[in-house]
Amino acid sequence: MSEMDLICTGCGIGIQTEEKEQPGYAPLNSVIEREYPVCQRCYRIKHYSDVAPVTLDNAGFQKILRDIGKRPALVVKVVDLFDFAGSWVKEINRYVGQNPIILVANKADLLPKVTNFEKVEHWLQKEVEKQGVKVADTILISAKKRINIEFVKEAIEERVGNRDVYVVGTANVGKSTLINGLLNLYGQEEGAEITTSRYPGTTLSTIKMDLPGHSGSIIDTPGIMTTHRLTDLVCPKCLRTITPETYINPKTYQLNDKQTLFFGGLCRFDYLAGEKQGFTIYSANQLSVHRTKLENADEIYSKHLGTLLVPPCEKCPDHLRELVPHKITLKSGHPQDIVISGLGWITVRGMHYTTVVVHAPRGVEVHTRRALI
């Protein structure tokens, strides 16, 4: 097998042995006669949790999606249940055509232990309907903990026929981890796993694998890169701080009007007007939340950003320190979530007329929705 034939089994990129700084590099002696060759980047991610960001071209991702619509295929659409809107691929119908879609909501293990998952599934189905998308199945899973992966396998086998299975989604929703779990159920031998990490952009090209017992293949696609989630923008160290690693412990703050909550230094929540009420925070347990009076908020932010209020840290981009206000007025009624994409959400129970201002870095999506929990 020549160097030109070698494909990294971890990320799907062609392997080359000459340019160390370019994607796909691997020392020649590390890939010769190896059954499952991997590039140096994947090796370091797997064994050292190293970070090696690579700029991806979303135009290439979109071409892959458009090609799916031109052939018979089964689409497994993976979303991040912790950040549903932020991980939704817009115009998915236009890309996949008439091909059936199995919706897989990953990271269900991050929701609080007391979560009613039947209600979450119903909520998810309503949100998908709002997008004008019809799905053949909706399955809540944890790819990392391999919870409910067998239901994804059953749904695929029920509908795949002679088609290929394309696993699609935005970066860092867990597509590759899901595929590794599926291949494990099929008895795939050790060593053929796709490279996974917490960092966006790990998969660099399509990775095609045989689907055992079927004539088609299962295909991992590169995740489309986004720029509206805080997880897209912070440095790798701060990404660990804002990314939940285990189930969330909700924190409820009883606030009077004219009080402020800081989420590190990445987000500021001002309660402008309304009666005293509780605001419940759903974010990574390791992210510090600080309460203060609104009249002191500007001074505290100016004095303590980067010390008491972290992230961002000194390695994060400068624009994360320029917060933009989003004024939100909620009327009494159903509980609602105020979502800061990539960071979490704040649940308002809807008992009172409420006015708040959410300050977040420019470009980070802030929106409201019917409460998830």
Domain covering 58-226 in this structure, CATH number:
3.40.50.300
Q: How many CB atoms lie within 10 A of CB 100?
A: 18
Cα–Cα dist 254/276, whole Å:
7
Return the domain boundaries, the chain.
1-52, 58-226, 236-370
Take residue 92 and report the two structure tokens written for it.
């998915």
pLDDT tens over the chain, length 373 residues: 344 467 777 677 777 888 887 777 888 777 766 767 777 777 777 766 665 555 556 676 777 778 888 899 999 999 999 999 999 988 888 888 899 999 999 999 999 999 999 999 999 999 999 999 999 999 999 999 999 999 999 999 999 998 999 999 888 898 888 988 988 888 765 545 554 545 555 555 567 888 878 888 888 887 777 889 999 999 989 999 999 999 999 999 999 999 999 999 999 999 999 999 999 999 999 999 999 999 999 999 999 999 999 999 999 999 999 999 999 999 878 899 999 999 999 999 877 789 999 999 999 999 999 999 9
Q: How many residues does the chain have?
A: 373
d(CA 4, CA 293): 63
3-state helix, strand, coil in the chain (%, to 5): 30, 25, 45
Q: How many CB atoms lie within 10 A of CB 156?
A: 21
CB 10, CB 39: distance < 8 Å: yes
If DSSP codes are grouped into helix, strand and coil, which group holds residue 320? helix
